Amino acid sequence: MHTKDRSVSHPDLHSISWDTFDRLAAGGGGVSAVGLLRTADRSRRLLLLAGLVDLAKADEDVTGPLFPAEEPWELLVRAQEAEPSALERILTHPYTGSWAGYTTRLIERGLPGECPLWVHYGYFHTLAAVAAIHAGLEFTIRVPVWNDTVVLPTLGAAHLDEGGGFATAEVRGAAGTFTINGRRSRVAPGAPDWTPLRDFRFEAGGQVLHLRLDDLDPHRGLFHPIPPDRLTDTEAAHWQGLLGEAWQLIVEHLPEYAEVLPSGLTSIVPEPAVPFRLPSASTGEAFGSAVIAEPVAEDPATLAAALVHEFQHIRLGGLLQLVPLHDDDRTERLYAPWREDPRPLGGLVHGVYAFFGVSAFWRALSRAQPQNRLAAFEFAHWRAQTWQTLETIRDDAALTGEGRRFLAGLATVFGPWQAEPAVPEAAHWADTLAADHLAGWRLRHLRPAREPAVDLAKAWLHGERCPQGVPEGRLDTVSDGEWANARADLIRIRFGPDGETRLPRSWFRVPGALEADYRLVAGLTDEARTGYRAVLEQDPDHAEALIGLGLSLPDGPARRALLGVPHLVRAVHRVLREAGNTPAVDVLAGWIGSATD
């Protein structure tokens, strides 16, 4: 950061050196780079806060029954003067950023919120209360109550008895203690109706990670405020244990990330478990936060990968506040191997950076644990899929010069990984999953025009050779059918702990899994093929079975068509069925595939 002129009346604009920019692109930059991004995000939040005060001054309805916006602002001023770290506590709180963005959108665009506007705006008043508490001030401020709950960000939640709905309460503080006073009820810390947030400290190899498990803050979600969803003590202990194990893995195997991750990831929002998966999410408005589904006990490595993944999103989100890497076109036009839907360029840039980090984690783990089949598979899978995506977008016309430089810098580090030896089994299944996903995406998002499909059906009915030149499909962002992605889950079960015994015992619990999927992943290819054919005889449109049949076939025209143009095979088959002709899907696919040599 360049601070040529720090005079108060003429502050500089934030800037980033090319050296730091290039280091971030390559996955480096250390604590100083993350600190720079955090400092920039702090300025962004402060500007939004100042803007929100101005908006409320112009329209007192914004604050409704709460104190006017000048009151919490002045309380923040007092808190900073008494104890500067008190202000920093709330400015660096991830959800201060989410709230500021959300509330700015509500007011500026006149959008309806989840609650009355003053309730949303009043998060500001709770932030001021928290800062004042930490500064040890004597103060009183009115805050919103939503369904009998007052959340004090970073501290906890009070459950009042005010009859539900929307109301106000007063937070009264002195010397660091406080009470929350409604009309009919009163709560103080330590009381049964006070729920403190859980803060964890993890230490491994001398590296310390502080994480808050935030199940209370209304702005911990991704898009709009949500009510508290308190974990039980048992659930929290489960999280604590797994996060500790995941941190241990990161410290041990990815020390360069262990050094910087604590400065960029400070809060975890727990979500309910998703069977056989670990979805996670973050928003560029909440620097420092990741939303993660409850992990399974036997797989801390996947949680570690998720932490690295979200940290990468956080870093890139921070950088994008300073440097546009692409234009603002959000047209969903590109294939992402980690998504079910077409994505805009910006989504792919984010994904590439995140999965670059994920690849780094699995690469390190697979090197340290050569017997770890899951690590070998994940590394083979993500390095190939991420690289392919990077190659697709690195010259996209919508990238800025900085964007091209960023991806080129990333490629400099990432490229050599592609040539590293891979376990043949891992490489094989990585290729299989890549083909599976791409074919599934084509089947659901490419729409062949009716006329060419009819022409092909006529040629078929006349016993002609399939005409050369397979027609292109039209991209449609709406998926044609659901997408279970069960084979990806099954592959991970097979390569996970006790996978060979777990797979036959648990495949049927994987949502959407066919028995043929299980057989395919178990290596019983002939049985899988028979199973897919049986499913397609009952339902020739069955998406998973169509792709599965393609995966189970030997190399040849039918496999080529089912994996390359499955949308066309299905479209022609539909036309033929309308004409009363129902060929076997793989026979028709072989005919179409013969034209794609």
Partner 1 sequence: MRSPGGEQPGIQSELLDLSAVSLSELRKLDPAVLRRSIRHAADRTTHIPVTASGSGGGGAKRVD
**Three-state SS at 245:** helix
Give the closest residue to 129 by CA, choosing from 185, 97, 183, 168: 168
**Which is nearer to partner 1, 71 or 285 (by Cβ)?**
285
Q: How far is the CB of 140 from partner 1 (least distance, A)?
A: 20
**Which is nearer to partner 1, 17 or 177 (by Cβ)?**
17
**Which is nearer to partner 1, 39 or 530 (by Cβ)?**
39
**Which is nearer to partner 1, 101 or 225 (by Cβ)?**
101
Amino acid code (one letter) for 307? L
Q: How far is the CB of 185 from partner 1 (least distance, A)?
A: 33
Asked if 7 and 21 touch (Cβ cutoff 8 Å), the reply is: no
CA distance linking residue 158 with residue 195, whole number of Å: 6
Q: How far is the CB of 143 from partner 1 (least distance, A)?
A: 20
- Helices 373-393, 345-368: axis angle to 10 degrees equals 150
Q: How far is the CB of 109 from partner 1 (least distance, A)?
A: 8
CA distance linking residue 356 with residue 536, whole number of Å: 38
Q: 115: which 2 tokens?
A: 């609650």
Phi, psi of 470 (to 5 degrees): -70, 130
**Which is nearer to partner 1, 29 or 101 (by Cβ)?**
101
Q: Which CA distances in Å does 359 have to 26, 122, 207, 403? A: 13, 42, 22, 21
**Which is nearer to partner 1, 318 or 564 (by Cβ)?**
318
CA distance linking residue 58 with residue 72, whole number of Å: 16
Q: How far is the CB of 580 from partner 1 (least distance, A)?
A: 36
Q: Is the dihedral of CA 574, 577, 579, 583 positive or negative?
A: positive
**Which is nearer to partner 1, 142 or 437 (by Cβ)?**
437
Q: How far is the CB of 449 from partner 1 (least distance, A)?
A: 28
Q: How far is the CB of 585 from partner 1 (least distance, A)?
A: 23
Q: What angle do CA 197, 200, 205 make, to 5 degrees?
A: 170
Q: 353: which 2 tokens?
A: 């950076």
Q: Is 195 exposed, middle or buried (0-12, 13-18, 19+ CB in 10 A)?
A: buried
**Which is nearer to partner 1, 38 or 560 (by Cβ)?**
38
Amino acid code (one letter) for 411? A
Q: How far is the CB of 447 from partner 1 (least distance, A)?
A: 21
